[in-house]
Structure 1
């Protein structure tokens, strides 16, 4: 059970923690507190801990892990953030160089802060770090594509899939683009848990955090759509990746050092916005 620890010497009794509590369970007083009954309702979201200007609050739970520096600091100007987001590119050409596991661990330490429905934090990760295994995963994806083509009606158009197979057979990987690593998101799928309906969205949000965090480490990424289509439909892939029973794949991303650097921001369609 989570516990709300309050430093009474730092607390100025401003009541902000009580106001901001998502579950509405923090009771103000001489010292903010949560009753034992209400502690079970706590979402462990950390809003109270984050908002306290005095740093007087701390959520205590053995499952929680903080960061070395828990101060938010400067997030940059709107122009800086705007340029960064507009300049984000999918990387499909990678250096023949592996990324140190410690670097990827640093990245994942950021990604674990991605928001999720009800702060459920259901997303788990597989990192295929061995480039040889990455190539095997790409090959299994090609096997799935071939199976889809073979079992489909003869008049069905598989131009895109045929190009992938032809390239593979000629020594070019258009599935995972020769990326040295692949990061895969997965989660438990429990039909009896109403929050399970959100896991796919939670996974996409977490993968987007990964996508946006990587460039600050000099890394690039690309959403692995072909692999994702195959993951939940081709048992040999689930077996190779040892997907735990009762879990489902949510998405996948290629990761590595970019072979090329981008210098300009391309055009995009105008935003379609309906003002109400």
Structure 2
């Protein structure tokens, strides 16, 4: 069974799909209907480039049979808007005491499926806490790992200043998850094309998408460190034995409004000629 079909009644026979396919799995002869390449069709990545470039909606991917959505050019943003949006994004560590609706989290998580991924493998999976109590429970599990590292005076305890984080927790201050009302943890397989990079990019997409719906986010580095060392925490998060955590981000309504873009140094660039 072919991995994609082309509607002969819609196809313009322009060959754009074959020219765009990154792995050459579409065969095209001038003036004829494109079709699956006899040998290369199995290479199909389901990336959707052929669907995206086709001007007549003639292509259907069998693994993803849902209809494509046409781009609305009226929603295009200007460079000035994009520049301010990206420069204005902040790491939010103080949140309002408001829950984040699950429907909102689901919507922004859906955007991460469009993040760049090696070979379009999209291996990233998510564990999401949607209440402050659950986030606090996970923060407590991280602190338990920290206590273990502090007690045995491990190098990681010294490097990450874990003793101070534990003392703050014991005094009622959560420096792990910052009392966030929601937390999203990205994990994936240890083996694969680029699972670590895919997870990092997916969390970055989530971070930017969250800002667009009025949420603030901050990467949860202590949880990521704990998950790298503590199999018990990975189990609590639902990460399989052959998996690893590649990113984690706290989410919630920012407690404060940011009104300015702070300065940054110019990028360090080496131009190659």
TM-score by length of 1: 0.90
Unaligned runs of 5+ in 2: none
Match of 2:47 in 1: 45
SS in 2 for 1:11: coil
1:253 pairs with 249, 253, 258, which one?
249
Contact 2:169/2:175, CA 8 A, preserved across alignment: yes
Paired residues, number: 268
Contact 1:2/1:44, CA 8 A, preserved across alignment: no
Contact 1:2/1:42, CA 8 A, preserved across alignment: no
Structure 1 pair 147–65 and aligned structure 2 pair: CA distance change class (3 A): farther
CA distances 1:208-266 after superposition (whole Å, capped 9, x unpaired): 00000001111110000011000121233123223222111111100111111111000
Quote how far apart the aligned CAs of 1:163 are: 2.5
Matched, 1:146 2:147: yes
Quote how far apart the aligned CAs of 1:21 are: 0.8
Contact 2:129/2:135, CA 8 A, preserved across alignment: yes
Unaligned runs of 5+ in 1: none
TM-score by length of 2: 0.91
Structure 1 pair 259–16 and aligned structure 2 pair: CA distance change class (3 A): same
1:89-238 aligned within 5 A: 89-152=90-153, 157=158, 160-190=161-191, 193=192, 195=193, 198-238=194-234
Match of 1:23 in 2: 23
Give distance in 2, aligned partners of 1:113 and 1:2: 24
Structure 1 pair 81–117 and aligned structure 2 pair: CA distance change class (3 A): same
